[in-house]
């Protein structure tokens, strides 16, 4: 019988690589925890309608990429393809916007699912860290979001990423632009599906990656020329605040992002070392999303950064993360009596906060020392019958190769002292 394999387009995260993913998640979360964002976790699946309404009927995500299922009770559910709609739904359901200060600031981390054509950097199951600030319309909040993501990437040592920035206008000026863009698109030679998309949401066509479509889009009306005074002023303030914080960005008038709910500020983090899948993260303001999913008017802004993509970007730049060894001390017993005595010491060391592992299965010294080396431990504690008879153990420093006896009763304190 053949063994099972991970489903197509997915991957298993295994040690030692998984330590890199954890470090990336923690680095992205650190500036958020430091800026008033609380952690939120939502279910891996939601009502289909939440994404159809929230993400948008015309998006590829809803029309082609969502994993949907009908439960035995007849409910239509979808595996979450993105985080914002779920987080906003949870915040509304718990009335977070009524119980505390606005904005409600939340961060999350988890797996998301899209039925896509698998390629390097684009999987059917992927991991993101995201942040949402719900219930406030303030250019400083948009700037904070961009600055925190920039800080997270810089803390990892990433350098060759760029921040693209645009404004998508609001419900006052976007309809005027939409009309102008639609009449321009109607004059082009486009396939049926693209024509249909242009009628539902013409901005999606600007995001089309096909060269023959991009060629025809030369001379298309530009949103910047249609922004109302309020949106222009808002966007200028966001730009000024980011600039004052020393964060570099590029204006990109074609940037629309793949979701229908964005208004005003929209941004993307791209890395040129990743080939066609250059976006490592992005986000923007979504002032109308709350009403779309049945809530009150709650202007909000957020982003999501891809953990998988960020790891690829680090690899592309040759950045090695400084990940400390998971194990500091490795215990090697020689003989039955030593197994019992040393195992008790391992438990004691762990309780004292020292990362300690044990040579299980009672293999010989040579094999156990190989395992100790692989574990990355700085110190190895070895004990045989003669050592125990003399009330001591041997501590070996794996860096210097030096070995010395230490009294059994003093071994925990001695290792704590050495490890600082």
Element (H, E) at 352: none
Residue 261, marked binder:
yes
The single-letter DSSP state of residue 63 is I
Q: How many CB atoms lie within 10 A of CB 397?
A: 13
Tell me which residue of 52, 38, 114 sits closest to 79, measured CA to CA. Answer: 114
Residue 210, marked binder:
no
Residue 257, marked binder:
yes
Q: How many CB atoms lie within 10 A of CB 356?
A: 24
SS3 assignment, position 164: strand
Tell me which residue of 271, 53, 38 sits closest to 132, measured CA to CA. Answer: 38
Residue 310, marked binder:
no
Q: Give the Cα separation of 294 and 402 in Å (integer).
A: 68
Residue 82, marked binder:
yes
Residue 114, marked binder:
yes
Residue 317, marked binder:
no
Residue 26, marked binder:
no
Residue 132, marked binder:
yes
Q: Give the Cα separation of 394 and 384 in Å (integer).
A: 9
Sign (positive or negative) of CA dihedral 343, 349, 352, 355 = negative
Please report, in range form, the residues annotated as the binding site for L-histidine: 82-84, 114, 128, 132, 257, 261-262
Please report, in range form, the residues annotated as the binding site: 82-84, 114, 128, 132, 257, 261-262
């Amino acid at each position: 019988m053949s063994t099972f394999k991970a489903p197509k387009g997915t991957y298993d995260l295994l040690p030692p690589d998984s330590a890199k993913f954890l470090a990336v998640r923690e680095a992205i979360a650190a500036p958020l925890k430091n800026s008033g964002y609380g952690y939120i976790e939502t279910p891996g699946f939601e009502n289909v309608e939440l994404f159809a309404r929230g993400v948008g009927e015309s998006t590829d995500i809803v029309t082609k990429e969502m994993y949907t299922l009908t439960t035995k009770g007849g409910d239509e559910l979808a595996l979450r393809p993105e985080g914002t709609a779920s987080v906003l739904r949870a915040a509304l359901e718990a009335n977070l916007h009524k119980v505390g200060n606005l904005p409600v600031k939340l961060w999350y981390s988890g797996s998301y699912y899209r039925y896509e054509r698998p390629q390097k950097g684009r999987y059917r199951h992927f991991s993101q860290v995201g942040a949402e600030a719900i219930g406030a319309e303030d250019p400083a909040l948009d700037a904070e979001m961009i600055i925190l993501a920039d800080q997270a990437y810089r803390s990892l040592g990433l350098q060759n990423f760029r921040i693209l920035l645009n404004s998508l206008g609001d419900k006052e000026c976007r309809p005027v632009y939409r009309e102008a863009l639609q009449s321009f698109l109607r004059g082009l030679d486009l396939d049926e599906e693209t024509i249909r998309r242009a009628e539902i949401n013409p901005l999606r066509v600007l995001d089309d990656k096909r060269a023959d479509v991009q060629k025809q889009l030369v001379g298309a009306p530009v949103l910047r020329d249609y922004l109302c005074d309020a949106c222009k002023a808002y966007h200028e303030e966001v730009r000024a605040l980011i600039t004052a914080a020393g964060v570099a960005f590029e204006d990109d008038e074609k940037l629309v992002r793949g979701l229908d709910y964005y208004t005003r500020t929209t941004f993307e983090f791209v890395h040129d070392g990743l080939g066609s899948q250059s976006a490592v993260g992005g986000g923007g303001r979504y002032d109308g999303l709350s009403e779309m999913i049945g809530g009150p008017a709650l202007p909000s802004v957020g982003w999501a950064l891809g953990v998988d993509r960020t790891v690829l970007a680090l690899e592309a730049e040759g950045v090695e993360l400084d990940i400390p060894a998971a194990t500091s001390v490795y215990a090697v017993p020689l003989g039955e009596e030593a197994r019992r005595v040393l195992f008790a010491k391992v438990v004691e060391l762990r309780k004292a906060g020292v990362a300690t592992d044990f040579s299980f299965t009672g293999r010989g010294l040579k094999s156990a020392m190989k395992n100790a080396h692989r574990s990355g431990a700085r110190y190895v504690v070895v004990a045989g019958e003669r050592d125990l008879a003399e009330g001591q153990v041997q501590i070996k420093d794996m860096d210097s190769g030096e070995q010395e006896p230490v009294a059994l009763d003093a071994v925990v304190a001695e290792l704590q002292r050495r490890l600082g």
